Structure 1
Amino acid sequence: MILLIALDTYYNFRFFSVRDEEGKDRVCGRQLVCLFMLHFLANVLIWLNTGSVTMLAFYGAQVLFFLLYIYLTRLFYRNSSKLLVNNMCTLLATGFIILTRLNPDRAMRQFAIVVVAAVVTWIIPFIIDRVWQLVTFPWVYGILGLVLLAVVCVIGNTSYGAQLSLTFGGFTVQPSEFVKISFVFFVAAMFYQSTDRDTIIKTTVVAAVHVLVLVLSKDLGSALIFFVAYMTMLFVATSSYLWFGAGIAGGSVAAVAAYYLFPHVRRRVEAWADPWSDIANKGYQVAQALFAIGTGGWFGMGLYRGMPEKIPVVDKDFVFAAISEEMGALYALCVLFLCLGCYMQFMMIAMKMQAMFYKLIAFGLGSVYITQVFLTIGGVTKFIPSTGVTLPLVSYGGSSIVSTFIIFQVIQGLYVLKRGEEEEEEHSSEEE
């Protein structure tokens, strides 16, 4: 499996060095072969260890979904990014494999959410390609986001010290996962209209209120994601080191204040700094994750050969540790590189967009995505304190899956839009 995921990752980066479209198609085709072989071998191991016919049927359902999603995307969105779809499917397949190992019921629930998310977000590239009016509603995005975050802050369900979610008829939703998208649209629309001082101040105030409400909800992981996204978009829109420096200074002061104001933040920082001094309590989660990564080594213990269930919240925040233990650190590194490959494509699309609104959306959503990846993997590996953020498309979590599908489909829509513009320019030049 490590060889196949390594080849998949190689083709991910090989894609960027190929110039002609036929060559890119060949690279993506080979990447798909690696994906389906990897997925098949992993599910053979799952079946050998469980002997469950249900798991075989579940595997078949996954294969059918991947085939339909890839085929229909290419059919209806001719100019779509094949690489982005391939990487999505590889990350989803990795998530299904490790979640099936950890908790088959949750894996099946995750699969159902993925199917629904794929169907619901299917129309997004069409909307992005044809509806320019999205730029005209900045305050709708801003006010809607603030209202949702405020509701969670007041009546939200508490999980591990933070108010994160709302429950409706048995379904739990984490609004911050969706507000980060509306937040990016708000900032992009505001800076598209103007980047004068008054607009920057107004936008900064609204952005700061978003972050403040998240801090009051003790959802500091999301607060940091919002902050990084805003600073990225501010710098892209203004190219001002003065505004950027002021924002970084303000964020640093806020981070220090959060450490002293919130006990659960101090606990996480202390557990990160020295998990061994209180390994039975505060440091237990981090210590178990490090044990798992160390035990797995470069090549992993093999599926069902480790003990990832000892790690608290292993199928959400700490799924990277479970992957490292049973599938190997090399496999886990390939997952990280695939995430970086997605981010690289986000940035390439952002740099190609001429309209500032679309450029800012791509940069903003790209920073949201890569910051979430960094916070998750950094927290698991003890590079930074744990923030309670999930690994996109891999970790268990309905809201995270749906919001990530939205992000990828928005970027896909921008890619389709840009490719369409390039084709029109080519036709015009040929006619001349």
Structure 2
Amino acid sequence: MVHLIVELSKYALIILFSVYTYECFSVFRNISERKQEKKFKRQARILYAIHFTAYVVIFAVTEDAYTFIFYLAQIILLVVVRNVYKLCYPKASRLLVNNMCMLMIIGFIILTRLNFGHAIKQFAIAAVSCVISLVIPVMIRRMGFFRNLTWIYAAIGIVGLGIVCIAGSTSYGAKISFTIAGITVQPSEFIKILFVFFVAAMYHKSTEFRQVVITTLIAALHVLILVLSRDLGGALIFFVAYMAMLYVATRKPLYFAGGLLAGSVAAVIAYKLFNHVRVRVVAWKTPLKVIDKEGYQICQSLFAIGTGGFFGLGLYQGMPNKIPVVEQDFIFAAISEELGGMFALCLILVCVSCFLMFLNIAMQLKDSFYKLVALGLGTIYGFQVFLTIGGVTKFIPSTGVTLPLVSYGGSSMLSTLIIFGIIQGLYILREDEGVSHNEKGEYKPAKKKAKSGFETEVRDLS
């Protein structure tokens, strides 16, 4: 009976998630507000259906009553988060709220299957992080002084990264974290947000050559400290975010080309200097030749993805725990093995729909500071997804970054929810017609009645 439940569930999950993913992109069509509302409600029902189906399988296999209690706790969190957004932020993007919840429950599902203890910790961190993120949209709306803290962002970022580089704990060859009172913190997850605010504030003031040079030097210092810490993934994320913001702010392809050239030279130098980097490149190029050492992790990942095929083996039917650090860097491989390649593809598309919304918001904002903030945060999110999935599938060398909202990791969970909260705040700002701001940077909506968030969401991407 249990085997039948597992077998049927994997097809049900794929069908439900495929419909949900279709709705993620169909909401951008030029349709009425009423149809938009129906689509968002349908997404919510599918979200709860996927969650319920997966935990029915988990309970049937484990027969552990604690998994049922854990499921109920997650339902409470989802209901609270969705209703707080609905009541307190009626203009918030419903698509981003649904996607945020969907990515979190996929993470809870796969972590419950992999390590129940880690799943409980992740849920506790997610609950606290959601509370923090829910106050961010109103902060973005009311605190216009964020654009005036330019050098505070830079100072905190450089000092924070420097402390980790000197005194941080080494994990898989890179210094990325330190422990305080038993809690492990990865500062780069939060400093990347401050980094975006720094660059946005600098280019909001001026895009003259002198300003570009100063900003580039400070940005390069951030990246250099990360390289010295051997945090290859973090360095790449900072670099790509800066290049995107530089090009949009200045509109000068020469700056962009020069940055790419400098980045390429720096990558070659890092390869020559650091054995940590060479090991990852070797594991990427010929993993089967070094399967007993450097290539073991990526080989196990590829075996898992290949074994899962299109439809997956079903929850608890695979062997994802054979992949080292599967809960963090390689969780996408575990999802592919047991939930299937089609489910994993839908997961990628949901992340893409989030990325498109981030860029859409950036394009529509008129204020250059907030435009660059939205662009930078969107680039960070999209590129982090690319690095994670690219490393797992051997498309690029593994960089050791997590899949946002899905992988196990408290710092990653909190920083990503903060990013979503900031983006929601910017989306709400954009929803106000005739928005203006005073010399303090505080936004004042016009008296004219604003259009519905549904209409704007359709208009901008139609």
TM category (shorter chain) comes to over 0.9
- 1:367-394 Cα distance to aligned partner (Å, 9 max, x none): 0001100000000000000000000000
Aligned to 1:133: 145
Q: 2:135 aligns with which of 101, 104, 123?
A: 123
- 1:326-376 Cα distance to aligned partner (Å, 9 max, x none): 000000011100000000000110011000000000000000001100000
Asked whether the 8 Å contact 1:230–1:364 carries over to 2, the reply is: yes
- 1:99-126 Cα distance to aligned partner (Å, 9 max, x none): 0000001001000000000112221100
Asked whether the 8 Å contact 1:18–1:24 carries over to 2, the reply is: no
Aligned to 2:8: none
Pair 1:243–1:138, CA change in 2 (3 A)? same
- 1:10-44 Cα distance to aligned partner (Å, 9 max, x none): 10011111443322221111111111101100000
2:57 partner SS:
helix
Aligned to 2:76: 64
TM-score (structure 2 length as normaliser): 0.92
Aligned to 1:394: 406
Does 2:391 correspond to 1:370?
no
Query: What is the CA–CA distance in structure 1 between the aligned matches of 2:128 and 2:30, rounded to whole Å?
Result: 34
Query: What is the CA–CA distance in structure 1 between the aligned matches of 2:423 and 2:17, rounded to whole Å?
Result: 24
Q: 1:89 aligns with which of 68, 79, 101?
A: 101
Alignment of 1:31-430 (within 5 A): 31-421=43-433, 427=448
1:389 partner SS:
coil
Query: What is the CA–CA distance in structure 2 between the aligned matches of 1:428 and 1:338, rounded to whole Å?
Result: 32
Aligned to 1:23: 35
Unpaired runs of 5+ in structure 2?
A: 1-12, 436-444, 452-462
Offset of residue 425 of structure 1: 5.4
Pair 1:374–1:429, CA change in 2 (3 A)? closer
- 1:152-188 Cα distance to aligned partner (Å, 9 max, x none): 0000000000000011000000000000000000000
Task: Answer 1 or 2: higher relative contact order, Cα 8 Å, separation at least 6.
Answer: 2
- For 2:344, the aligned partner's letter is A
2:433 partner SS:
helix
Offset of residue 421 of structure 1: 3.3
Offset of residue 321 of structure 1: 0.1
Unpaired runs of 5+ in structure 1?
A: none
- For 2:206, the aligned partner's letter is S
Query: What is the CA–CA distance in structure 1 between the aligned matches of 2:293 and 2:52, rounded to whole Å?
Result: 39
Q: How many residues align?
A: 430
Offset of residue 130 of structure 1: 1.4
Kindly report the root-mean-square deviation, in angstroms, between the aligned alpha carbons of the 2 structures: 1.3
